[in-house]
Amino acid sequence: MSLSPPKDLSRFGPRTRLVHAGRNPAEQHGFVNTPIYRGSTVLYPTADDYVNRRARFTYGTKGTPTTEALETAWSELAGAAGTILAPSGLAAITVALMSCLKAGDHLLMVDSVYRPTRSFCDGVLRNFGVETTYYDPLIGAGIEALFRDSTAAVFTEAPGSQTFEMQDVPAIAEVAHRRGATVLMDNTWATPLFFQPHAHGVDLTIDASTKYCSGASDLLLGSVSANERAWPALRRTFDSFSMCAGPEDVFLALRGLRSMPLRLREHERQALEMARWLEARPEVERVLHPALPSFPGHEIWKRDFSGSSGLFSIVLKPAPQEAVAAMVDHLELFGIGSSWGGFESLITPFDCTPYRTATEWRPQGPALRLHIGLEDVEDLKRDLEAGFARLRSACVRAA
């Protein structure tokens, strides 16, 4: 077997590509993994080489063998012209937006977006002279009515960060490209394994590698991959910001990347089993999971996606907050915490009512977002069952 990877990985399946992409043992003295390169200064053999920057790597902010390995692997997986790495998912979002917006531009932002993205738009972008209009995630091709002469970009996220609305990304992309706008997408939920963004018209796709690429809740990292159209501006913006990811985090993400397909399928399997179980619970009003036939956006998910990940939400039947607290606070296996994509299960209460502006969030009852980890699914059911018993008892006491 050659110590160099196959020259054309496109003929292989996603799992094979992920095992081999971005690795070149021949350059690492035969070691399987690209090691952690820490450094800023790169030495040149001659002054002429330095003046003309004749080197594969020129300075630490421009990349190292470690970052190149992950960028190459992610571009291979996403079908991208290039990828940059940032120190967090939100940092990746900000670099992507700044690469395609300038003062006087208008941005169309989906109303169900990850809340820190909204904060960046309403704060930093507004201060830099960019106006943001929030739109209904279900608008589809109807988004054309919101376009202005100054509309430069449309940001999508499918499914929605907490409420899981499924967007018709190809329809939105068709309108945006006809009007000369850049299409961005937060694709963290599906990853390129379950949704190929550039094949569906997305110019810039953002992934919080903190989540499934890591799989262990032990790093912060974000990536932006771009098609040929958007890549030059993205790379220029990234180089100007020098918003570099830490080498240890990049190495951990590379390690997690190799097993991501297996983990993601297991998260999906367990989450679907839990979602179906929760649909039958008398305490649950509805389950917000795109892969369930009962979900309003199921047909779009079935058309465009090949999997469903491990994150979804539920809406409980009306109950006082103290009853929800009694349920959640004493769960044994579900942690209460932000993020997701790790091996551990998580549960968080949420309420979009205060900050949704283009659409109304009317859940009928308290809402909970669940990430289903890799524990035994029957243990997770028993943990929630005990939580539901506490919920019911607290409701009786409050009545």
pLDDT in tens, 255-270: 999 999 999 999 999 9
Q: What is the pLDDT of residues 103-116, one digit of tens each?
A: 999 999 999 999 99
Per-residue confidence at 25, pLDDT binned at 50, 70, 90?
confident
Report CA-CA distances (Å) from 244 to 33, 35, 65, 249, 362: 21, 17, 14, 11, 40
Tell me where in the chain the CATH 3.40.640.10 domain(s) lie. Answer: 9-257
Lowest mean per-residue pLDDT among 8-12, 58-62, 142-146, 267-271: 8-12
CB contact at 8 A, 304 and 274:
no
Q: Compute the average pLDDT of residues 77-97.
A: 97
268-271 contacts at long range (C-beta below 8 A, 24 or more positions apart):
268/307, 268/308, 268/309, 268/310, 270/310, 270/372, 270/373, 270/374, 270/377, 270/380, 271/308, 271/309, 271/310, 271/311, 271/312, 271/370, 271/372
Beta carbons within 8 Å of 351's beta carbon, 6+ residues apart: 361, 363, 367
In this predicted structure, the answer to whether residue 30 has a pLDDT above a threshold of 90 is: no
DSSP state of 3: S
Task: Please give the mean pLDDT across all residues of the chain.
Answer: 94
pLDDT at 162: 95
Tell me which amino acid residue 296 is.
Answer: P
Q: Rounded to whole angstroms, how far apart are CA atoms 172 and 201?
A: 9
Q: What's this model's pTM, rounded to 2 decimal places? A: 0.93
CATH T-level assignment (fold) for domain 9-257: Aspartate Aminotransferase; domain 2 (3.40.640)
Q: What is the pLDDT of residues 331-341, one digit of tens each?
A: 999 999 989 99
Q: Rounded to whole angstroms, how far apart are CA atoms 100 and 119?
A: 18
In this predicted structure, the answer to whether residue 214 has a pLDDT above a threshold of 70 is: yes
138: how many CB neighbours lie within 10 A of its CB? 18
Count helices and strands (H / E) in the chain.
14, 11
In this predicted structure, the answer to whether residue 1 has a pLDDT above a threshold of 60 is: no
Tell me where in the chain the CATH 3.90.1150.10 domain(s) lie. Answer: 260-398
pLDDT at 8: 76
CATH 3.40.50.2300 is the classification of domain 260-398: no
